[in-house]
Amino acid sequence: MERQFPIRQIMDEQGRIVEHEYRGQITEELVMAMYRHLIRTRTFDRKCVSLQRQGRIGPYVPFEGQEACQVGSALALEDEDWMFPTYRDHGAMMTFGRTLTQTLLYWKGRTEGCIPPQGKKIVPPYVPIATQLPQAAGAAYAEKRKGTKNAVIVYFGDGATSEGDFHEGLNFASVFNAPVVFFNQNNQYAISVPITRQMKSKTIAQKALAYDIPGIRIDGNDIFAVYFHTKQALERARNGEGPTLIEAVTWRYGAHTTSDDPSKYRDQEESKRRRETTDPIMRLERFMQREGFWDENWANDVQERVNAEVEQAVAEMDRYPSANPEDMFDYVFAEPTWTIAEQKQAYMEWKRGMEG
């Protein structure tokens, strides 16, 4: 199966293009946009870990190491497409249009973090592990029924492939020929459980065979492989050719969340080794150097601008008016039921009593 589903690269670890047919599409403009987004998401991610350590946001889910998966796939989308993310996909969400401030608010435990900018079809991140797959299939089928060219991307991890909803989602999408891309980030650990305990299958991509849809296994740290294969899958979807399963093989350097310690279940030397050899940002840098796109001053400028943007978002978060507990009674139904209205009233009276 590993032979049938080889890990595809367009650019190798040294930043060399190995699939030359893509060369013409790799414009300087595209590469610079990719680099900016990679730096932006990594800087933001590190900042969040630091904010969590300072107690300024709640428990945080880092994605460092997976930036190429998230940035590359999100850049492949069109504005009118749908995104069904998980709690680790804020890199993808930010690249697709969710603001940094909204993302910070999410991790600060604010509802505002679940509301995408107007018109952006980014649904609130999913917490159960494969729940979003059938929903994405349904949303995609809706686009097909409406006769649009819009597609849906849905994210999930390696652990999700053990859930029933993984199979139900792929099967429904396959039967309905729905325009959806199932984008798997195989970071090889579900919290502490390695992929070898998750499945006997050698690849995740091979699971596509069961649904008679294309399954593609790519190097998730090669942003070109991510971008172009996702784009092709989206094109297939738009052209009525149905769903695709993409397995992007990657690695999270850090913990599952800021509440766990990865050294308890794996040798963190491996993360160090990968950081030094297969890092997605380093690889793009190598490519840019090799191709003569690299400009140290420009890169410094990118980093400075990103730092400023992140700091501004943190400042906006800090300035945000505190959450109003009364809001928790709203939006359960279009019209509150009498029990909720009554409880809200009682809460407000109790609150006034406490304050008075």
Partner 1 sequence: MAEITMIQAINEAMRQEMERDERVIVLGEDVGTNGGVFRATDGLLEQFGDQRVFDTPLAESGIIGTSIGLAVNGFRPIAEIQFLGFVYQAMDQLAAQAARIRFRSAGRFTCPIVVRSPYGGGVRTPELHSDALEALFTHSPGLKVVMPSNAYDAKGLLIAAIRDEDPVLFLEPMKLYRAFRMEVPEEPYEIPLGKARIVKEGEDVTIISWGATVPLVAKLAADMKAQGVDAEVIDLRCLQPLDIDTIMQSVEKTGRVMIVHEAVKTNGFGAEIAALISERALFSLSAPIVRVTGYDTPYPVPSVEDDWLPNAARIVEGVQTLMRY
Residues with active-site annotation: 252, 256, 265
Minimal distance, residue 20 CB to partner 1, in Å: 39
Contacts of 2 (CB under 8 A, 6+ apart): 202, 203
Nearest residue (CB) to partner 1, 7 versus 323? 323
Counting Cα atoms < 13 Å in the Cβ hemisphere of 132 gives: 27
Nearest residue (CB) to partner 1, 66 versus 150? 150
Pure H helices in the chain: 28-53, 67-75, 90-96, 100-107, 132-146, 164-176, 195-198, 223-238, 268-277, 280-291, 296-319, 338-355
Contacts of 93 (CB under 8 A, 6+ apart): 74, 83, 85, 103, 116, 122, 125
Minimal distance, residue 164 CB to partner 1, in Å: 6
- CA dihedral angle for residue 270, residue 271, residue 273, residue 277, rounded to 10 degrees: 130
Which residues are at the interface with partner 1 (CB under 8 A)? 82, 111-112, 114-116, 123-124, 128, 131, 133-143, 145-146, 164-165, 168-169, 171-172, 175-176, 327, 330-334, 337-340
Q: How far apart are CA 129 and CA 166, in angstroms?
A: 9
Nearest residue (CB) to partner 1, 315 versus 332? 332
329: exposed, middle or buried (Cβ count in 10 Å: 0-12, 13-18, 19+): middle
Closest to 240 in 3D by CA, of 155, 169, 150: 150
CB 15 within 8 A of CB 34: no
Neighbours of 44 (CB within 10 A): 22
Nearest residue (CB) to partner 1, 54 versus 338? 338
Nearest residue (CB) to partner 1, 211 versus 228? 211
Residue 304, amino acid: E
Q: Is 188 left (phi over 0), alpha (psi -120 to 50) or beta?
A: left
Minimal distance, residue 119 CB to partner 1, in Å: 10
Q: How far apart are CA 100 and CA 47, in angstroms?
A: 11
Nearest residue (CB) to partner 1, 37 versus 110? 110
Q: How far apart are CA 90 and CA 106, in angstroms?
A: 10
Nearest residue (CB) to partner 1, 91 versus 125? 125
Q: How far apart are CA 247 and CA 330, in angstroms?
A: 39
